[in-house]
């Protein structure tokens, strides 16, 4: 775990209600490592909505998964940096040149820059899905290829499913950040995720950040839900 964050849990604010998102953020600030703002939230509320959440002082993972030609992605990154996210991401499948350009823009921020992370393979995809897309090999093979490209491009790490954490930690070393969605509690429905794991198991395998949304925001007491998850994590976390 990076010392930048209180703990490895980032909760996704997946809601179309800005007041509810702000209330939830204020509730979770004392217990989470950070919050994740993704496409659903950002498209609904834009910069002003983001800034309302950022006013709580919590670290934010701006999960917009930029994917376009290198110049366009570099421009997008430059436009978003003024929001001062702690983490931001691009699709690794956009190619090494695109990732290098994005990295170059982020480096202009100096020591206070955010982590720049490459998205490998969405956790909603399995072997059948990637075969239909024409990719060769298993999901793990595809994730390893994309993670290697992200590391070559100088990115800080990747987003991957829990099932690829162990092999990526071996491939990419201890300093390469692994941000892991697809986290579910024991006995909980996987919903639209296909490659999932419990929080404790994901950390044991080498995850740095756990993105956990539905098990927290659906709970009657979201802060207590976070505290219960933290209590079950291995001591080293």
Coil, strand or helix at 61: strand
Given the residues 3, 17, 26, 65, the one annotated as active site: 65
Instruction: Write phi, then psi, for 64 (nearest 5 degrees).
Output: -105, -10
Given the residues 68, 126, 129, 201, the one annotated as active site: 68
Within a 10 A sphere around the Cβ of 38, how many other Cβ atoms? 18
Q: How far apart are CA 231 and CA 237, in angstroms?
A: 10
Per DSSP, what are the bridge partners of residue 91? 119
Residue 130 known to bind ligand: no
Alpha helices in 81-126 (DSSP H): 96-107
Within a 10 A sphere around the Cβ of 186, how many other Cβ atoms? 9
Q: If 0-12 CB within 10 Å is exposed, 13-18 middle and 19+ buried, where does residue 135 land?
A: middle
Residue 201 known to bind ligand: no
Residue 70 known to bind ligand: yes
Residue 129 known to bind ligand: no
Residue 184 known to bind ligand: yes
Residue 9 known to bind ligand: no
Per the annotation, the verdict on 65 as an active-site residue is yes
Residue 66 known to bind ligand: yes
Q: How far apart are CA 42 and CA 159, in angstroms?
A: 19
Given the residues 3, 17, 26, 63, the one annotated as active site: 63
Per the annotation, the verdict on 63 as an active-site residue is yes
Residue 194 known to bind ligand: no
Residue 68 known to bind ligand: yes
* Residues that are catalytic: 63, 65, 68
Which residues line the annotated binding site? 14, 36, 63-72, 123, 184, 193, 214
Which residues line the annotated binding site for substrate? 14, 36, 63-72, 123, 184, 193, 214
């Amino acid at each position: 775990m990076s010392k930048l964050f209180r703990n490895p849990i980032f909760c996704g604010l997946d809601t179309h209600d800005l007041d509810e998102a702000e209330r939830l953020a204020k509730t979770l600030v004392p217990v989470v490592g950070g919050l994740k703002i993704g496409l659903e939230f950002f498209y609904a509320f834009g910069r002003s909505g983001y800034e309302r959440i950022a006013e709580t002082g919590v670290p934010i993972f701006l999960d917009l998964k930029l994917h376009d030609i290198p110049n366009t992605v570099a421009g997008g990154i430059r436009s978003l940096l003024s929001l001062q996210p702690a983490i931001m991401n691009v699709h690794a499948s956009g190619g090494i040149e695109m990732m290098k350009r994005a990295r170059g823009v982020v480096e202009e921020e100096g020591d206070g820059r955010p982590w720049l992370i490459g998205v490998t393979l969405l956790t909603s995809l399995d072997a059948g899905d990637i075969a239909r897309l024409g990719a060769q090999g298993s999901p793990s093979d595809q994730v390893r290829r994309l993670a290697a490209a992200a590391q070559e491009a100088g990115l800080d790490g990747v987003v991957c499913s829990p099932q690829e954490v162990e092999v990526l930690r071996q491939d990419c070393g201890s300093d390469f950040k692994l941000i892991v969605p697809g986290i579910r509690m024991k006995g909980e429905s996987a919903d639209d995720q296909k490659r999932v794991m419990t929080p404790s198991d994901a950390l044991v395998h080498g995850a740095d950040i756990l993105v956990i949304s539905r098990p927290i925001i659906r709970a009657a007491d979201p802060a207590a839900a976070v505290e219960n998850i933290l209590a079950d994590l291995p001591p080293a976390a």
